[in-house]
């Protein structure tokens, strides 16, 4: 089955919500949050579809104070889509868009035990010939009141940027 990558729309929100719920240990957000990811953040998010429906989703945004950063919020790939480098392809799709022509760094947060995410982001750093740095960011006790593992801030870059106009 061919896989189509593209920009999500608000009508994808419910399917994205179901995909994330089917991909433990991902944290589920409200369906409303997924609707916002697929509409307000569509330009910095990507969706993959095949004949069976939504196969993968990456949500991201450019923090207002850091326009040269793509923060990858969440990555979800259905079991039938794994082993195809789909998550990396979705992130590459986002980085290739006009909204991201000035992006020099990718940031995300990952718990220490999330081996799949560490492998993905190490692969992105390798493929981009970029450095990967990480440090504890949102800590179990200080930020999550003991209810969630510490999230490490991962920063990859710098990547070269497009030398086009500065109105991005």
- What's the chain's average pLDDT? 92
What count of other Cβ atoms lies within 10 Å of the Cβ of residue 54? 20
Count structural domains, the chain.
1
The model's pLDDT over 146-157, given as tens digits with 9 standing for 90+, comes to: 889 899 999 999
**Percentage of the chain lying above the pLDDT 70 cut:** 95
Give yes or no for residue 163 having a pLDDT over 60. Answer: no
Over range 127-131, report the average pLDDT: 93
Question: Using 50, 70 and 90 to split pLDDT, how confident is the model at 1?
Answer: low
> Containing domain of residue 136, as a range?
4-157
Which residue is listed with tokens 């990718």? 106
- CATH number assigned to the domain comprising residue 50: 3.40.630.30
Inside any domain, residue 129: yes
Instruction: Please give the Cα distance from 9 to 20 (Å, whole number).
Output: 16
pLDDT value for 72: 98
Question: Using 50, 70 and 90 to split pLDDT, how confident is the model at 18?
Answer: very high
């Amino acid at each position: 089955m061919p896989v189509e990558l593209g920009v999500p729309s608000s009508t994808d929100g419910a399917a994205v919500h179901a995909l994330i719920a089917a991909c433990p240990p991902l944290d589920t957000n409200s369906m409303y949050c997924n609707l916002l990811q697929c509409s307000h953040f569509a330009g910095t998010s990507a969706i993959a579809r095949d004949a069976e429906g939504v196969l993968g989703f990456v949500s991201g945004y450019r923090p207002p104070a850091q326009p040269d950063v793509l923060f990858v919020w969440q990555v979800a790939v259905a079991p039938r889509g794994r082993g195809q480098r789909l998550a990396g392809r979705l992130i590459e799709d986002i980085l290739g868009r006009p909204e991201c022509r000035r992006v020099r760094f990718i940031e995300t947060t990952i718990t220490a035990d999330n081996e799949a995410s560490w492998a993905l982001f190490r692969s992105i750093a390798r493929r981009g010939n970029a450095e990967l740095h990480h440090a504890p960011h949102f800590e179990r006790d200080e930020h999550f009141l003991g209810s969630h593992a510490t999230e490490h801030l991962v920063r990859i870059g710098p990547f070269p940027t497009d030398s086009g106009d500065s109105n991005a």
